[in-house]
Structure 1
Amino acid sequence: MRYMATYDLMETARVTNQWLGASARAFGSYPATGLYPNPFFQMLSAWGEVTERTFSRMVAKPDWGINSITAEDGRDHVVEVETVVERPFGDLIRFKVLGRKARKRKVMLVAPMSGHYATLLRSTVASLLPDAEVYITDWHNARDIPVSRGKFDIEDYTIYLIEFMRALGSDVHVVAVCQPVPLALTATAYLAEHEPQAQPKTLTLIGGPVDPDAAPTEVTDFGRRVTMGQLEETAIQRVGFKYAGAGRMVYPGLLQLAGFMSMNSDKHAKAFSEQVLRVAKGEAGDHDKHNRFYDEYLAVMDMPAEFYLSTVERIFKDREIARNAFTVNGKPVDLGKIKDVAVKIVEGEKDDISAPGQCLAALDLLTGLSADKKAAHLEPGAGHYGIFAGKSWRNNIRPLVLDFIDSNDGAARRKATANKTSKPRAVKKKAAGGRAAK
């Protein structure tokens, strides 16, 4: 019960700010305020609208919002979200496109459990759907999981990934984004050694901390500065009685959000002040650029305490992945066992969370993988978000990832070879037709 009061206090502060925003918006919108030719009431209403929306979004899980896509037949096809594998702390879900012929590419996106919902990869999913069958890990908010469901640390996370890969079969192409990059790597190595028939065809690792010391950032410096005792004392709280996970030890999403925003506080402050002015002038929209971004960015979830603490201790402090010393259920995981899975690294030149070099370190650990199955790409001018969901992803990285998948897909390669050899025969037969060759 020691930390339950602080959890409830933080939630009380959030609700209070939401209420203040709603009250200011209502007060500034009274018709009588029009009698006074002063912009104060417009600004008050605008501030209230932005504030209410901001603090209400912090506890709302965003919807995927992918209702349909246009296929090559020119028709819109409805997209349904279905659960493939269901687990207490996270599910594997599929975006099923109804009425469309199944795509040969099968892609499993591994979403981070780092304070945001998997919907942070909404645009990534939408960009891949026209060309692939897309699956994604959908992690649950820890505050909604009863204590009776047990613990969840990075080993459990890795086991979940192993189960998900096993369920999809060996023809799947795995794409891991940010935090789960080192764990997707270890899950693949585990399968390579113990169940090679279940390992994926390719593994694309995007901006993740395989070796945090390869290129220090503010995130890695924080992990070095604090002790595990300090971290547990200051960051971990118990879920309050309001939620199903009452009593569960968690790293609250609101604390994680505060950390995210403090890294670029000036930028966020400017964005919100400009949005207040736009609302006051009547230039803002419900789905304008600001609201689209912050509706997703502000929606945070609690992480299980054991997952957060084991990530800091084993990935950042002890560097178990970087030293190839990670274990799952007491079994050592040797990254050198990966021999048949092609691996591609994607990094952003201006990534301030997982700086260039942290993810690239994975290639040196893959001692059993031949050079022709290793690839790397550094996106010029791209930040962390841009390499998996921004303009850099859409214009440059996505085509490279799809080409990498195709070039390492045995069936696709055989088909391409067959097409190349069949064309000359067809031309030769047509030329031999006399009149056709005339």
Structure 2
Amino acid sequence: MRYMVTYDMMETLRNTNQWLGATAEAMASYPAFAMWPNPAMTWLAAWGSVTERAFERMAVKPDWGIHSITCEDGRDHLVNIRTEISRPFGDLIHFEIAGRTPAPRKVLLVAPMSGHYATLLRSTVRSLLPDCEVYVTDWHNARDIPVSEGKFDVEDYTLYLVDFMRHLGPDTHVIAVCQPAPLTLAATAYLAEEDPEAQPRSLTLIGGPIDPDATPTDVTDFGHRVTMGQLEQSMIQQVGFKYTGVGRKVYPGLLQLTSFISMNADRHSKAFVDQIGRVARGEASDHDAHNRFYDEYLAVMDMPAEFYLSTVERIFKNSEIAKNAFTVAGKPVDIGKITTVAVKTVEGDKDDISAPGQCIAALDLCTGLPDNKKASHLEPGAGHYGIFAGKSWRNNIRPLVLEFIDANSDTPPAATQIRAV
């Protein structure tokens, strides 16, 4: 019960700060105050506006915001988001482009379940849509999932991916970004043994911790410093009475956000102080650079407790994927069974979350795969975010990934064209 009280206390603090921001903005904006101009009232209204927006965004799932895309015919086509498979903990969604012949490249983009919603990959999706049929794993906020739906750990996550790959068929090209890279590799190996005909054509792993010990970072060091008991006591709470998942044990999004911000507290503080100044001067807008970034960054989701704990224990502490010792429902998953799926790894030279060396370790694990089906790329000067959503992705990595897809597809490369984004 004490875990539920803690959860509700965090939600109360969030709600209170949102209310304080709205109240400050409303009070400081009274016309009567304009009779005696005072910079303090202008600043208070600006503070209230920024504060209300920030704390409101923490409890809201962002919209994908992808309404249309310009295709090779030069016309804008509407984008419809259709649910292909609906599951309690996550859906498989398809970005269906109205009036366009299905693109020859079918891509499954595996989004992380690591605090933020799948919409974190919005720019990645948008960049792929002109050239690909894009499917995305859209994970649900654990606070909204009833306890009656049961647990969800790394094995369940892997089996979800197996089912999604089976549904899409063997002409699929899978791209896994960050956290899901090890489990996507395991899901592919699982299919290689259990249902070889359902394996994807290619697998691209971007900035994922296949072997977290290959190049230690603050993230991997933290996983080794704390015990599982300490993690469970300090990080796990129960969803409060406000949400459908009341009683479910989770790693709360608000607690995750506190950790995210504390890593770069000075930079975030300066960003908000600067934004308050811009609002006070009338220089801010609803979709300016600050709001575009923080509307997504602050939108966090609760993670199932068993998924978080099993990820730390099995992927980081025990290195089950790196040691090729991962099991699903008691059945060993041998990554060496992958013999036909082309595998490419992408790393950023300046990645401080999944450092160079962690992801490329996947190629050594694929002992049954010939060298001509292995590829790797190290992007100079790129950080973690840049390798899947920034300038490095748009200008360098995306074309390389599409070329890799074409090289391992039934569609001749000459019949397709990579458009600039």
After TM superposition, the score normalised by the length of structure 2 is: 0.97
Q: Hey, what does 1:302 align to over in structure 2?
A: 302
Q: Hey, what does 2:130 align to over in structure 1?
A: 130
Q: Hey, what does 1:174 align to over in structure 2?
A: 174
1:214 partnered with 2:214: yes
User: Any conservation in 1 of the 2:104–2:411 contact (CA below 8 Å)?
Assistant: no
1:36 to partner: Cα distance: 3.0
Q: Which runs of 5+ in 1 are unaligned?
A: 417-438
Q: Hey, what does 1:81 align to over in structure 2?
A: 81
Q: Hey, what does 2:378 align to over in structure 1?
A: 378
Q: Hey, what does 1:163 align to over in structure 2?
A: 163
Q: Distance in 2 between matches of 1:249 and 1:223?
A: 20
Amino acid at match of 1:253: G
1:413 to partner: Cα distance: 5.3
- Give the secondary-structure state (helix, strand or coil) at the position aligned to 2:369: coil
1:268 partnered with 2:253: no
1:59 partnered with 2:42: no
User: Any conservation in 1 of the 2:202–2:408 contact (CA below 8 Å)?
Assistant: yes
Q: Hey, what does 2:91 align to over in structure 1?
A: 91
1:284 to partner: Cα distance: 0.4
- Give the secondary-structure state (helix, strand or coil) at the position aligned to 2:137: strand
Q: Deviations over 1:105-152 (max 9, x none)?
A: 000000000011001001111110000000000000000000000000
Amino acid at match of 2:345: I
User: Any conservation in 1 of the 2:117–2:300 contact (CA below 8 Å)?
Assistant: yes
- Give the secondary-structure state (helix, strand or coil) at the position aligned to 2:81: strand
- Give the secondary-structure state (helix, strand or coil) at the position aligned to 2:114: coil
Amino acid at match of 2:278: R
Q: Hey, what does 2:324 align to over in structure 1?
A: 324
- Give the secondary-structure state (helix, strand or coil) at the position aligned to 1:20: helix
Q: Distance in 1 between matches of 2:47 and 2:104?
A: 50
Q: Deviations over 1:25-73 (max 9, x none)?
A: 1122122222334311111111111110000000000111111111111
Q: Distance in 2 between matches of 1:354 and 1:198?
A: 29
Q: Hey, what does 1:436 align to over in structure 2?
A: none
1:365 partnered with 2:375: no
Q: Which moved more, 1:272-281 or 1:150-159?
A: 272-281
Q: Distance in 1 between matches of 2:401 and 2:255?
A: 34
Q: Distance in 2 between matches of 1:253 and 1:412?
A: 45
Q: Distance in 1 between matches of 2:277 and 2:266?
A: 17
Q: Which runs of 5+ in 2 are unaligned?
A: 417-421
Q: Hey, what does 2:419 align to over in structure 1?
A: none
- Give the secondary-structure state (helix, strand or coil) at the position aligned to 1:18: helix
Q: Which moved more, 1:350-359 or 1:177-186?
A: 350-359
Amino acid at match of 2:57: R
Q: Deviations over 1:348-407 (max 9, x none)?
A: 111111111111111111111111111111111111111111111111111110011001
Q: Distance in 2 between matches of 1:117 and 1:24?
A: 30
- Give the secondary-structure state (helix, strand or coil) at the position aligned to 1:389: coil
Q: Distance in 2 between matches of 1:297 and 1:397?
A: 23
Amino acid at match of 1:355: A
Q: Distance in 2 between matches of 1:372 and 1:383?
A: 28
Q: Hey, what does 1:3 align to over in structure 2?
A: 3
Q: Distance in 2 between matches of 1:36 and 1:177?
A: 54
Q: Which moved more, 1:34-43 or 1:96-105?
A: 34-43
1:415 to partner: Cα distance: 6.1
Q: Which runs of 4+ in 1 moved over 6 A?
A: none
Q: Distance in 2 between matches of 1:414 and 1:396?
A: 20
Distance 1:399 1:414, change over 3 A: closer
Q: Deviations over 1:280-321 (max 9, x none)?
A: 110000000110111011101001100000000000000000
Amino acid at match of 1:113: M
Amino acid at match of 1:58: M
- Larger of the two Rg values belongs to structure: 1
1:232 partnered with 2:193: no
1:23-38 paired onto structure 2 within 5 Å: 23-38=23-38
Q: Distance in 2 between matches of 1:373 and 1:171?
A: 16
- Give the secondary-structure state (helix, strand or coil) at the position aligned to 2:64: coil
Q: Distance in 2 between matches of 1:279 and 1:411?
A: 52
Q: Distance in 2 between matches of 1:378 and 1:157?
A: 28
- Give the secondary-structure state (helix, strand or coil) at the position aligned to 2:284: coil
User: What RMSD, in angstroms, separates the aligned Cα atoms of the two structures?
Assistant: 1.1
Amino acid at match of 1:67: H
1:12 to partner: Cα distance: 0.4
Amino acid at match of 2:286: D
Q: Hey, what does 1:277 align to over in structure 2?
A: 277
- Give the secondary-structure state (helix, strand or coil) at the position aligned to 2:58: helix
Amino acid at match of 1:314: R
Percent identical residues:
74
Q: Which moved more, 1:244-253 or 1:212-221?
A: 212-221
Q: Distance in 1 between matches of 2:2 and 2:314?
A: 26
1:317-356 paired onto structure 2 within 5 Å: 317-356=317-356
User: Any conservation in 1 of the 2:69–2:130 contact (CA below 8 Å)?
Assistant: yes
Amino acid at match of 1:45: A
Q: Distance in 2 between matches of 1:264 and 1:404?
A: 36
- Give the secondary-structure state (helix, strand or coil) at the position aligned to 1:250: strand
Q: Hey, what does 1:242 align to over in structure 2?
A: 242
